[in-house]
A and B are shown apart, each in its own frame.
Chain A
């Protein structure tokens, strides 16, 4: 009886951060490095499988008048294609496969996280930083390949007095270096805050019982809808910022 009470009061029953715990499913040890297959890795694999099955299976018919599934696949294609056309222009179409994969991976990871008992891969800063660094390093390399050393002119703002150039170059470089950080923090913080809030309000429902629990339950239903919107919006923001950075690297202005 006492042990039971301790267990209920001792955080195990009410721990909104419990959902973010990474657990080892299969332990691997590669030369002293912990390369275990965790639940995070499992959900990343699941996201890739879902995307592959969705795009390949729905486009396998190649009907002239698309059905429901094919419409969805074509819609996601057109969505990303028009996003690239609007922000980067025709020069960006070479990078369509990368941005489409990135957008779909973030979107499907966010959406899988909305399922009960699932794990939200994008709520871990390690994952979002890895994605953001791929974008950041890739875009910087593209900039240097396209413009050579001239890409460094990107950090020199035009139309300023000579005396201010060193100061402003440092500020511009710092502002450029903030890109991967703000890109990754935005996605990670949005996902983590939303999921924590859902858990906290779920505990209110239990805590207030059958009489008072309806108010937080109603709020939770509305908030789940908002979370689905946020899941989509954050994937969109991630992809469109990648496009904007790509545009800066390709056209330099």
Chain B
């Protein structure tokens, strides 16, 4: 039933998967034409069907939005793993940079120690950023629930 409706309406409008207002534009175009009563009736029923489809689409969109938030939260293990890799990657990159500069300048432990600390700082910065983005994801979910 819905599948047939979808097919008909999809046939009558140009369907842009990336556009938002493709249905509305088509509705306006339709209301300008149509002179006799039969055509008007058909137009009325078509518009009704479009409205119901709009409602349906809105429902699906809100469902999708809440699913997306769910998705962004991910599994707890995935979240923990993400934070850990950020921290370790910061340390590794900092340590490597320091080691590389030391090898280049011949000042062995100096820059290694400095950049190891800086790498730790960068890793913690990344962890805070990721955790913040996870936090906003949770807030979005609460908004859509209201």
Residues of A within 8 A of B (CB): 64-65, 74, 77-78, 81, 85-86, 93, 167, 170-172, 174-175, 177-178, 181-182, 185-186, 189-190, 229-230, 233, 236-237
Contacts and interface: CB of A to CB of B under 8 A. Distances in A.
Nearest to A193: B81
A181 B86 CA distance: 9
A170 B17 contact: no
Interface string B57-78: 0000000000010010011001
B53 interface: no
A171 to B, nearest CB: 5
A28 B135 CA distance: 51
Contacts of A182: 85-86, 88-89, 126
A65 B3 contact: yes
Contacts of B6: 65
B122 A171 contact: yes
B68 A86 contact: yes
Contacts of A167: 118
A77 B18 CA distance: 10
A195 B97 CA distance: 32
A85 B125 contact: no
A181 B92 contact: yes
Contact of A178 (B7, B71, B126): B126
A227 to B, nearest CB: 12
A85 B90 contact: no
Given A64-B7, A174-B94, A181 B89 contact: yes
B81 A174 contact: no
